[in-house]
Structure 1
Amino acid sequence: MTKFGYTLMTEQSDPKSLVEFAVQAEQVGFDFEVSSDHYFPWLDSMGHAPNAWVTLGAVAHATERVELMTYVTCPTIRYHPAVVAQQAATLGLISDGRFLLGLGSGENLNEHVVGRGWPAAAVRTEMLSESVDIIRKLFTGEYVEHKGEHFRVVGGKLWDVPATPPQIGIAVSGPLSCMLAGEKADAMIAVEPKASLGEQFDEAGGRGKPRIGQLPISYGTDRDAAIDRAHDLFRWFGGGWKVNADLPGTAGFDAASQFVTKDDVADSIPCGSDVGAVVEAVRAFTDAGFTHVALVQIGGTHEQQDPFFEWSQHELLPALREL
């Protein structure tokens, strides 16, 4: 049975509100919650970027049932993989085993802040692969020495590790990342409902493992206002990850999305209060073999999120359960 999740969108809300939203999402019946992990929002109008790990620690303490995950963390430049391993192990303990570590090769938007430059895509995949190896070794709780092509670990050891370490998901967008995920991940993560991604994941060893997707929507009883909000906050989405991964800041995203119209947004993101439109958008993921789908409600305030939770509880989630 497909599981349905809620996205803690750190780029559009302050950390206290995110924790409150997490509690509400659990109360209305969402199965899991994912958190973005950014240093910058994509657009200035989004206005936020609190630390995801601190926020998830608070969420883990405030919730009881929902599964949690990063969607996704880059363990290569802004964070060393040894630091990610420690954060993930700690969150696994605080959440009583409800945490899945979602990893990806990153975006220049967030990683440029430490001044190490931005490698080519193939190099980023190599770095991610080496990072996964380091994290898994540290999850054993044993001392780790590692001297690789991209990273070193000298006498590393995690002193607080769950009896069952967090599972690892890897974000995919094409053959190279699908191969890496199939070989080294416990789950596949993607933002596009493409069956080909799952097929490539299967071929590389991912058969039978979870596939986790994400879908932005803009709920509101006034459809025009919902479209306006989606255009203001989410027009960057149309660029695709191959473009988005290389842009260095909000000005770049604003320029790259300047010709995206409100009609373009309305055609690609369900806007308004039509349950059927969201169900059909989710169906694209389930038909492509996805086992989990996390929804993003566009808009970072309680005025934009609270009605979404009520609608989800009484209308949307019951309809999605019938898929």
Structure 2
Amino acid sequence: MAAIGFHASHEQISPGQLLKDVQLAEQAGFEAAMCSDHIEPWSARQGHSGFAWSWLGAALATTGLRFGVVTAPGQRYHPAIIAHASATLADMFPGRFWMATGSGEYMNEHVTGEAWPDKETRQRRLEESVEIIRDLHAGKEVTRTGLVTVQQARVWDVPQVKPLLIAPAVSVETARRSAAWADGLVTVNQPHVKLKDMLAAYRDAGGRGKAALQVHLSWAPTEDAAVAIALDQWRSNVFPPPIPWDLPTAAHFDHVSAEVGENQVRGAVNISADTAQHAEWLAEYVELGFEELYLHFVGQEQAPFIEAFAEHVLPQLRGTGSRGTERKVPL
């Protein structure tokens, strides 16, 4: 059975509250967690953006969960810094930390004031960064010139268990290309045909490791409330690339999404007041071949979602049926 994880959205929830949320998710039966790494939220309505790397130390220390982070070495972060930070977490929490290294989004990278490269250049910069990180995790001294410059960098505390470098991809082409360097694949919920094509492209190109899926969802006791949550919090996230790659601020995302309606949001978010429907959708993703699912409830108040899914969704996915009030999570 696929592992069911909790997605911690730093753009939507303050770091202190998000730490409580992931602790509650573990109590509820979630088996793993992953988080975003933003300096800018997708919308002013979301209104948060804690520093993921500080938060990860606290989250790993106060739970027993495995954690991943989606991050972008190359511009806002020099890859030597990412290698250093990730090696430290991997040394303290062996086998419990992974990172999905992507090519980045301008909303997070524009703060450096550097020019924003085209997608192909960003992809090559990422691939250089991955090589640098792997060499540093191996204890090598690294000097490089290229899209990324490194001068006599070394990580002195090299973890015995290296953190996995997972490829985050939203396209078939990126999934195929990432197979050359990645230890696994992670993507987001999309039409089943595209997800099947992405998995096939990754595996056919020699891609190794697990395939994980981050599932954007909205649940509430009523359908209207579930729709309202998704519209308020996630309507800035319905656009295909290159829009999410190239806009610089939350204000820009709020502007372009001002007229987004329910139908568009339903294309990006699984919306239902019926927990059985959510369980069915999640089971379908497992059947496609995903070995880990990370559930991202797109609302800002996580406890009711955690409670409902602990009672009605997680047991169904594990084939045990609803456990009713047997394991109520205190709110």
Partner deviation per Cα, 1:40-79 (whole Å, 9 max, x = no partner): 0000000000101001111011112x11000x10001100
Q: How far 1:268 moved relative to its partner? A: 4.5
Any unmatched runs of 5+ in structure 1?
none
Letter in 1 for 2:67: L
- Report % sequence identity: 33
Return the match for 2:156 from 154, 159, 163: 159
Q: 1:139-178 alignment to 2 at 5 Å?
A: 139-147=137-145, 149-178=146-175
Q: 1:107-146 alignment to 2 at 5 Å?
A: 107-146=105-144
Q: Does 1:280 align with 2:280?
A: yes
Q: How far 1:202 moved relative to its partner? A: 1.1
Q: How far 1:195 moved relative to its partner? A: 0.8
Equivalent residue number for residue 215 of structure 1: 215
Equivalent residue number for residue 93 of structure 2: 95
Partner deviation per Cα, 1:221-252 (whole Å, 9 max, x = no partner): 13212211110110122112432111111122
Aligned length, in residue pairs = 316
Equivalent residue number for residue 69 of structure 1: 68
Letter in 2 for 1:196: D
Do the aligned partners of residues 227 and 249 (structure 1) sit closer, same or farther apart at CA in structure 2, a change above 3 Å counting? same
Letter in 1 for 2:152: G
Any unmatched runs of 5+ in structure 2?
321-331
Find the aligned partners of 1:76 and 1:142 in 2 and give their Cα distance: 19
Partner deviation per Cα, 1:264-307 (whole Å, 9 max, x = no partner): 3246523343122212332342233211111111222xxx2111
TM-score (norm 2): 0.91
Letter in 2 for 1:139: H
Find the aligned partners of 2:173 and 2:80 in 1 and give their Cα distance: 24
Equivalent residue number for residue 196 of structure 1: 197
Where 1:185 maps in the other structure, the secondary structure is coil
Equivalent residue number for residue 24 of structure 1: 24
Return the match for 1:179 from 176, 184, 204: 176
Where 1:68 maps in the other structure, the secondary structure is strand
Do the aligned partners of residues 164 and 44 (structure 1) sit closer, same or farther apart at CA in structure 2, a change above 3 Å counting? same
The answer on whether the counterparts of 1:275 and 1:319 sit within 8 Å (CA) in structure 2 is no
Partner deviation per Cα, 1:95-138 (whole Å, 9 max, x = no partner): 23200111111111110111112111111110111000000000
Do the aligned partners of residues 119 and 217 (structure 1) sit closer, same or farther apart at CA in structure 2, a change above 3 Å counting? same
The answer on whether the counterparts of 1:239 and 1:256 sit within 8 Å (CA) in structure 2 is no
TM-score (norm 1): 0.93
Equivalent residue number for residue 292 of structure 1: 292
The answer on whether the counterparts of 1:12 and 1:46 sit within 8 Å (CA) in structure 2 is yes
Partner deviation per Cα, 1:162-212 (whole Å, 9 max, x = no partner): 1111111011123442233211010111114411111111122115x2111
Q: How far 1:93 moved relative to its partner? A: 2.1
The answer on whether the counterparts of 1:60 and 1:94 sit within 8 Å (CA) in structure 2 is no
Find the aligned partners of 2:266 and 2:142 in 1 and give their Cα distance: 50
